[in-house]
């Protein structure tokens, strides 16, 4: 006998942010394991009436182990529900390893992560052309989890792009100091979001310079995500993806628009070369226009 464990992302909170696949997997499970402290109870509405429901929030890993052993012995299907997306800070890898060692089949159902939920909540894109083309997902070092070398917040902050900080609101003073030390200016836009998409959600806009005060003022220390970066307020330039001059596998470029796009690219490259000659090495952003990559809308 050998069972299956599905690691299911429940999304940030609102039960209707569960994916259709997640709902289907939960509905098929003999056992549903969920963390009552992190996952909305309405998610359990998808479970079969005869499914065994286990609250993992009070259990250490060792507490779930007998359940996985039983699943392997009896060929049960288990849905293990995690908040947000299971790929991020869910202690999922150790469970995957354990389940595989027990001979269980494992599958992962991705979920809506809190950082994209917060971006949606504030109505912003995190990658704005020519402003930010990368998103750094990280957390403050310290506490129970030491950071690997080269992963300090101040080191990531040097890039000046969009950053999402998980699990860090309890040390907001240190977050702010690290962000400033890494090079974000004090007026860089920031957002602090507590319990995003839950009924008691709180979203506060501030700046890197007022981040710690905002977190403290609102007494936030857990279930809080911090977003920072110029993209949170920038208007940005037009993306090439939907420009009539851009071509890809499913669309031809309009010749006149294509010529204009190429001219624009050359002009910008020339002006950028001038800037970097004038200012020397700095944090100027890499050229975007002129790229011939056949990126496609996804
Ligand atoms: C253990 S991590 C889990 C992250 C999760 N896997 C995800 O993809 O969002 C928990 C941290 O995620 C963030 N988080 C998760 N859900 C959140 C929500 N609804 N609102 C704000 N932050 C949230 C907070 O930083 C919290 O401390």
122 and 223 housed in the same domain: yes
Could you tell me if the CB of 7 is within 6 A of ligand 1?
A: no
Whether residue 22 lies inside any domain: the answer is yes
The answer to whether the CB of 225 is under 6 A from ligand 1 is yes
Which CATH number is 213's domain given? 3.30.950.10
CA separation (Å) from 125 to 10, 49, 226? 22, 40, 15
For residue 35 the two structure tokens come to 């963390």
| Poorest-pLDDT segment among 76-90, 190-204, 226-240 | 226-240
Number of domains the chain contains: 2
pLDDT band at residue 116 under the 50/70/90 scheme: very high
Q: Say if residue 40 is in the same domain as residue 108.
A: yes
- In a domain? residue 150: yes
| Average confidence (pLDDT) over 68-95 | 96
CB-neighbour burial class of residue 114 (10 A; exposed 0-12, middle 13-18, buried 19+)? buried
Tell me if 13 CB under 6 Å of ligand 1. Answer: yes
| Separation in Å, CA 150 to CA 125, 160, 205, 239, 284 | 27, 16, 29, 32, 22
Judged by DSSP in three states, 216 sits in helix
Q: How far is the CA of 255 from the centre of ligand 1 (A)?
A: 46
Question: Which pLDDT does position 254 carry in this prediction?
Answer: 73
Residues 108 and 125 in one domain: no
Instruction: Please indicate whether residue 40, judged by its CB atom, sits closer than 6 Å to ligand 1.
Output: no
pLDDT of residue 239: 62
Indicate which residue's Cα is closest to atom 15 of ligand 1.
114
Q: Where are the alpha helices (DSSP H) in 102-232?
A: 114-122, 153-157, 172-182, 211-217
Given 173, 206, 232, the domain boundary residue is: 232
Asked if the model's pLDDT at residue 201 lies above 70, the reply is yes
Q: Let me know: does 96 contact 4? Beta carbons within 8 Å.
A: no
Hey, which of 40, 83, 116, 145 would you mutate to test ligand 1's pocket, going by the most ligand atoms within 8 Å of its Cβ? 83
pTM of the model: 0.84
Look at residue 296 and tell me if it is in a domain. no
CA-derived radius of gyration, the chain? 23
Is 248 inside a domain boundary?
Answer: no
CA 38 / ligand 1 centre spacing (Å): 9
Does 85 sit in the ligand 1 pocket, CB within 6 Å?
A: yes
240 contacts 246 by C-beta, under 8 angstroms: yes
The pLDDT of 90-105, averaged and rounded, is 95
- pLDDT tens for 137-178 read 999 987 677 889 999 999 999 999 999 999 999 999 999 999
Q: Look at residue 256 and tell me if it is in a domain.
A: no
Domain extent, residue 226, equals 115-232
Residue 84 Cβ < 6 Å to ligand 1: yes
What are the C-alpha distances in Å from 143 to residues 147, 166, 171?
10, 13, 10
Decide whether any atom of ligand 1 lies within 6 Å of the 12 Cβ.
yes
Q: 72 and 140: one domain?
A: no
């Amino acid at each position: 006998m050998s069972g299956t464990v599905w690691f299911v992302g429940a999304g940030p909170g609102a039960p209707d942010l569960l994916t259709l696949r997640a709902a289907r997997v939960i509905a098929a499970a003999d056992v549903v394991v969920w963390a009552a402290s992190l996952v909305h109870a309405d998610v359990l509405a998808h479970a079969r009436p005869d499914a065994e429901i286990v609250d993992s929030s009070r259990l250490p890993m060792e507490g779930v182990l007998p359940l996985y052993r039983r699943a392997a012995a009896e060929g049960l299907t288990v849905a293990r529900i995690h908040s947000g997306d299971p790929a991020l800070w869910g202690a999922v890898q150790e469970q995957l390893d354990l389940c595989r060692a027990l001979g269980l089949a494992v599958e992962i159902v991705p979920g809506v992560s809190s950082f994209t939920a917060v971006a949606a909540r504030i109505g912003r894109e995190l990658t704005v052309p020519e402003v930010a083309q990368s998103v750094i997902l990280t957390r403050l070092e310290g506490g129970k989890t030491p950071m690997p070398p080269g992963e300090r917040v101040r080191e990531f902050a040097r890039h000046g792009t969009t950053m999402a900080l998980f699990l860090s609101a309890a040390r907001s003073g240190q977050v702010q100091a690290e962000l400033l030390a890494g090079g974000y200016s004090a007026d860089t836009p920031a957002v602090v979001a507590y319990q995003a998409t839950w009924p008691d959600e709180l979203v506060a806009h501030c700046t890197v310079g007022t981040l710690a005060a905002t977190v403290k003022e609102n007494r936030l220390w857990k279930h809080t995500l911090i977003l920072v970066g110029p993209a949170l307020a920038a208007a940005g330039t037009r993306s090439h993806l939907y420009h009539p001059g851009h071509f890809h596998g499913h669309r031809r470029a309009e010749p006149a628009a294509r010529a204009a796009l190429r001219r624009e690219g050359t002009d910008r490259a020339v002006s950028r070369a001038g800037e970097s000659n004038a200012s020397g090495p700095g944090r100027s952003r890499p050229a975007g226009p002129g790229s011939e990559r056949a990126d496609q809308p996804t």
